[in-house]
Structure 1
Amino acid sequence: MSASGELDVAGLAGATLSRRQLLAHWNIQFRNHAAVSRVSLDLSNAGLTTVPDLAVGPIDGEIRVVRLADSDAGSVQGHPPGGATPDTHQAVDVEDLSHIVRDPLQPVDTGDTPDSGGSPDEAPGEDPVGLLPQTALRISVFSSAVGGAVSVMPDDTLPKAMSIMAERGFSQLPVLDGLGALQGVVTWASIAHMHATGREATVRNALTSEYHAVESTAYLLPVVPMIQAYGFVLVRSAAGSVTGIVTTADLADQFVAIARPFFVLGEIERRLRRCLSRVYGEDDVRQVHRDRRRRQVDQLMFGEYVRLLDDEERWKKLNWPGVDRGHFVGLLRRVKDVRNGVMHFNSGYPDDEATALLDRFVGILRGYDPDSTA
């Protein structure tokens, strides 16, 4: 803060801090769409940006505030001028998919003109039903990609490397020199090949160059085929140091945590929309949203479903005598909050409690919408 108490955005240039700490400069506690938009816009107006992206990655993961010109030049991405990359025979430039990712500075055009005064059930920047997901995943979504890599040095003994691999259940181990530069990888397959060719049993002789390395800002989907083909990828920071490793086991372990909420929320939206569309018409829709362009339930925001049902007379139309309106609406509000966190890359993925909430809620809907197609 400046002496006047105003935030000195330009003074953040060159700072290295966590995403949480950066948001705290704006007195923001939670990372959501509105928060990221505000901070990104203020930084952009000051000629700054963050590397890696503020919007994606661990909330306590480190980022750097850099000048836009430096970011555009690529010097902060771990690439020297001219487009060369360190260890070009090993590093892989992953396709830039930024053109298909929504710019966090641009609001979604939903045609929504909320009434003045608003409602606590209308989340700022809430996206219409049916638009999950809104962001592309990056490799840094895996904690193993940014949490630091267990490694050995070239002059360590091979038994030491093998002991670490056996103890931790690793199939591969990065080999770094004294400066932290990547020398290669030792794998069980490379060790077997070393023995098969009669070479001395050393870490250097067991090295393999059959691996890929990507930056922590790389988009996940283009990297998946590499992980499937080689069993792993090494992950590097913007400065080029190895920050972690992502394996096929990580993909399997994280798939449920990452993908399942999207699928369950999608089913909740579809079933809820079908249930409400059978009962509520244009007059009901206009009672919760006076925009004349909206005439059907499936044109409402998810939060407006809460407003639609939080009325005793409208609730009676639903004819669900076995469900208490107050309890159901309370659950729906909580589901809405989880949904907003998932859609707007809040501080991580739903925890066990939130996941259980989604499971219970979709279970209720299945009882009143027994559509096998979901």
Structure 2
Amino acid sequence: MRAWVVRAGENGERERAALEEGVLVVGWDRLAMGDLADAVTRDDIKAAVAAAYPDEGPYTIGNWTGQLHRFVHEIQPGDLVVLPLKSLRVAVGRVTGAYEYRAGAAEGMRHVRRVEWLVTDIDRQQIQTDLLDSMGSLLTVFEISRFGAAERVAALADGKPDPGRPDADEFAASLTEPAKLYEEVRRRGAEEPLTLSVRDFLAIWGVQRRYPASTEQIKNELEARGLVTVPPFTEGTLDSRIAVLAGGAEPDESGTSAVTRLSSSLVLDTIRDLSAGIAADVARWTAPGSGPAGLGAHLPDEEAETQAVAYRVSNLDSANRMPECVRVGDSLGTATTLMVLRGYSQLPVLDEDGRLRGVVSWESIGRARMADPNAGLQAATVRGQEADGSDDLLDWIGAIQQFGYVIVRDHDHKVCGLITASDLTVQFGTRVRPFVLVEEIEQRLRRVVDRCIPLERIRATVPRGRAAQVHSAANLTFGAYKHLLKVPENWAALGWGIDQDHFLAALDECRNFRNALMHFSPDPMTDDQLIPAQGLLELLRSVDPQI
């Protein structure tokens, strides 16, 4: 059994029909083939999508092809499906039928799968953050498989709370405040380092994302206590694991620190088992003259600042997920079989140590076979694009756009991930979404204020010295709207039949959300964190329905 998310349109426009008719439904009605049941292979679907949408680029065509292939062929009867609702609740159902094409249905309602809805009003508070994050993709059709997702969705379908990830760190959950973390590191000593995920580490401070202010606070508190994290908690994704060490402790009889001893002890092997890549980071950060930036080490200030704000290649989940690959010595048939089965355009070719020796792609295979019809894997292997996980992601966007991918290596130069153009599309789509929500909220506020409230009363909201600079609501700060609409005369002028106190409270909550959004963080906003903006926007759309 697998679990999937199938959205009911970008703005939930197909939601009601999906629930009432017991179907999963996707768009793409311009497909010339109409009925995709005859599209046996992924290439059949790709050809249909490219013909229907000739103005779209290869990355969009590939992305849409993947989603439709999942909907038509990969989703199976008996699988569970999650439908996020506009009410910010969640529905869960069980797929009961194969793909159908309904030629006579309304536009946007023709490609369907039958589903039995098991529950349609799950409160998001019953779902833990990591599973909500997995559901947060902007794709219409995608699988959720990490952290025991299928079993957890099954529990939700039975009316039970989310049981949490099967590998959840119960001990980390007990570290509810910094003082408990400090005590635990002290109790364990240097021979038994404390390891936990970045997500669990941040939760000790009640933080979900690595904003500069919270990152600086944590770094200062660790430094004051003489603690370090290896690797720095500012690197990697929220699910990357780190070790917390007493880096400021006195040297032992041999004259070495706990961190340096760690690099040459058996404990290093323990850390390697707990988290791939940590061992390499220990060696990297304990080399002479180096150390974790800003955590009691001696890096220059400007380098420490870079660690806090740069957006790294390793911040993408796919950069930390081992890709499908072939090994030197495998046959070309092995590579082509995997590429067809998985729908890949290329595969990394690795040596016995897990280091990149090149890439095999459909293009390289074609060129090799043109020169020699019997060419093998070695002849079809070409040089690949390879980035270090600590590289600035922005430096690689051009290469990913040009070649469609980049292979990611760790500090041991072993392959640890692969980023495609589709990964970038999803990642930056996720990051753009909060800004789009806030922008529409501000646009709607400006329009209704300019339409209903005279300019002199708008100017009365700002200090007298700035009043002459205000020519419309566009000159107001977001926080000024609360003060403006708190005035009874101004509120009455809107003519809205909603509760003023609740609206102003929502406006202030959205102001805090907006302010947080303006501060850089390498971590994406979760669906829960978007709720204040989404709720306020839905309310504004209701009271001011003009487009």
Per the shorter chain, which TM-score range? 0.5 to 0.7
Per the TM alignment, residue 247 of structure 1 is displaced from its structure 2 partner at its CA by 1.4
Q: Is the contact made by 2:351 and 2:357 (CA closer than 8 Å) also made in structure 1?
A: yes
The answer to whether 1:258 aligns with 2:431 is yes
The answer to whether 1:17 aligns with 2:196 is yes
CA distance in 1, matches of 2:214, 2:396: 29
List gaps (5 residues or longer) in structure 1. Answer: 83-97, 105-134, 287-291
TM-score by length of 2: 0.46
CA distance in 2, matches of 1:78, 1:248: 33
Per the TM alignment, residue 174 of structure 1 is displaced from its structure 2 partner at its CA by 1.1
The answer to whether 1:198 aligns with 2:372 is yes
Aligned counterpart, 2:351: 177
Bigger radius of gyration among the two:
2
Aligned counterpart, 1:234: 407
Q: Tell me the matched-pair count.
A: 309
The answer to whether 1:220 aligns with 2:396 is no
TM-score by length of 1: 0.63
Partner amino acid, structure 2, of 1:240: H
Per the TM alignment, residue 180 of structure 1 is displaced from its structure 2 partner at its CA by 1.5
The answer to whether 1:351 aligns with 2:527 is yes
CA distance in 2, matches of 1:7, 1:366: 52
Per the TM alignment, residue 39 of structure 1 is displaced from its structure 2 partner at its CA by 1.0
Quickly say closer, same or farther: Cα 1:153–1:58, change in 2 above 3 A: same
| Cα deviation digits, residues 69-106 of structure 1 (max 9, x gap) | 99xxxx84998999xxxxxxxxxxxxxxx88x8886xx
Higher RCO (CA < 8 A, seq sep 6+) = 1
Quickly say closer, same or farther: Cα 1:244–1:5, change in 2 above 3 A: closer
Partner amino acid, structure 1, of 2:343: G
Aligned counterpart, 1:328: 503
Partner amino acid, structure 1, of 2:214: A
The answer to whether 1:162 aligns with 2:336 is yes
Q: Is the contact made by 2:359 and 2:382 (CA closer than 8 Å) also made in structure 1?
A: yes
Per the TM alignment, residue 214 of structure 1 is displaced from its structure 2 partner at its CA by 1.6
The answer to whether 1:43 aligns with 2:222 is yes
RMSD over aligned Cα, in angstroms?
4.6
Partner amino acid, structure 1, of 2:335: A
Aligned counterpart, 2:206: 28
The answer to whether 1:313 aligns with 2:492 is no
Q: Is the contact made by 1:154 and 1:175 (CA closer than 8 Å) also made in structure 2?
A: yes
Aligned counterpart, 2:122: none
Per the TM alignment, residue 64 of structure 1 is displaced from its structure 2 partner at its CA by 5.5
Q: Is the contact made by 1:214 and 1:236 (CA closer than 8 Å) also made in structure 2?
A: yes
Q: Give matches, 1:130-169, under 5 Å.
A: 137-169=311-343
CA distance in 2, matches of 1:42, 1:152: 46
Q: Is the contact made by 1:78 and 1:240 (CA closer than 8 Å) also made in structure 2?
A: no
Query: Aligned with 1:7: secondary structure?
Result: helix
Query: Aligned with 1:204: secondary structure?
Result: helix
CA distance in 2, matches of 1:346, 1:225: 20
Q: Which structure has more helix as a fraction of its residues?
A: 2
Quickly say closer, same or farther: Cα 1:185–1:58, change in 2 above 3 A: same
Partner amino acid, structure 1, of 2:416: T
Q: Which structure has more strand as a fraction of its residues?
A: 2
| Cα deviation digits, residues 111-167 of structure 1 (max 9, x gap) | xxxxxxxxxxxxxxxxxxxxxxxx664333432222221212112222222121112
Partner amino acid, structure 2, of 1:222: D
Q: Is the contact made by 2:448 and 2:494 (CA closer than 8 Å) also made in structure 1?
A: no
Per the TM alignment, residue 226 of structure 1 is displaced from its structure 2 partner at its CA by 0.9
Quickly say closer, same or farther: Cα 1:7–1:228, change in 2 above 3 A: same
Moved more, 153-162 or 135-144: 135-144
Per the TM alignment, residue 227 of structure 1 is displaced from its structure 2 partner at its CA by 0.8
Query: Aligned with 2:494: secondary structure?
Result: coil
The percent identity for this pair of structures is 29
Q: Is the contact made by 2:507 and 2:536 (CA closer than 8 Å) also made in structure 1?
A: no
